[in-house]
Amino acid sequence: MRTSPSSTESVTTAVGSSRPDRFRWRVVDIVVASVIGVASGLVFWIWGQAYNPISIPFEAALPGLQALLGGGWLFAGVLGALVIRKPGAALFTELVAAAVSALVGTQWGPLTLLSGLVQGLGAEIVFALFLYANYRAYVAVLAGMGAGLALAINDLINWYPGSTTGFAITYTVSSVVSGALLAGVLSWLAMRGLARTGALSRFASGREVSARV
């Protein structure tokens, strides 16, 4: 069958524009990512208030083990990326959450924004390595681990300079494990739960889960 130049051009244009369209942020993406960031920021603030009393037994058992609680500040980026599925979603939601937490008032002050930036990048890099095309459970876990590793590096530099090798190893491993579980697994389950309610019907994440139900 012969194809006219006009039809060939239209097909080429459609195929060529599919990838930019998939990566382009819509207004609804910005709104929902912002809502996730703000809600997560309030959770971050509550988590920060509870951190000191809860972390004492962990630190007493083994210095550095308190980082097992770090995942409570990492889920925003992973959840945002799982829902929005666009480049920059993990960084955006984690940074918004950190900003909200800082504005409400945290014991860590302006450095909260630095933490949000670094942790968001940790998750963002993982999704980028999968070309923003794979949002399965294991990728969410890897993104949580990436955010946890970023948290550990940032904290060891800014809050625990000169720490012993043993402390640094314990803190890093604990951060990565916490990121995998609290930010990775729980965010993936939360995304699926939201999708089942129909709240994500305008997103690929929502349609994908609905199609499997």
Q: In residues, how long is the chain?
A: 213
Identity of the amino acid at 3: T
Helices (H), 105-164: 111-129, 137-158
Q: What percent of the chain stands above pLDDT 70?
A: 89
pLDDT exceeds 70 at position 10:
no
C-alpha gyration radius of the chain: 20
Confidence of residue 210 (pLDDT cuts 50, 70, 90): low
Please state, in angstroms and rounded to a whole number, the distance separating the CA atoms of residues 59 and 181. Answer: 19
What is the value of pTM for the model shown? 0.87
- Is-contact 75 189, C-beta < 8 A? no
Thinking of the domain 26-207, which architecture would CATH place it in? Answer: Orthogonal Bundle (1.10)
Candidate from 46-55, 80-89, 105-114 with smallest mean pLDDT: 105-114
Q: Write down the pLDDT at residue 20.
A: 62
Written as six digits, the tokens of 77 are: 């980026």
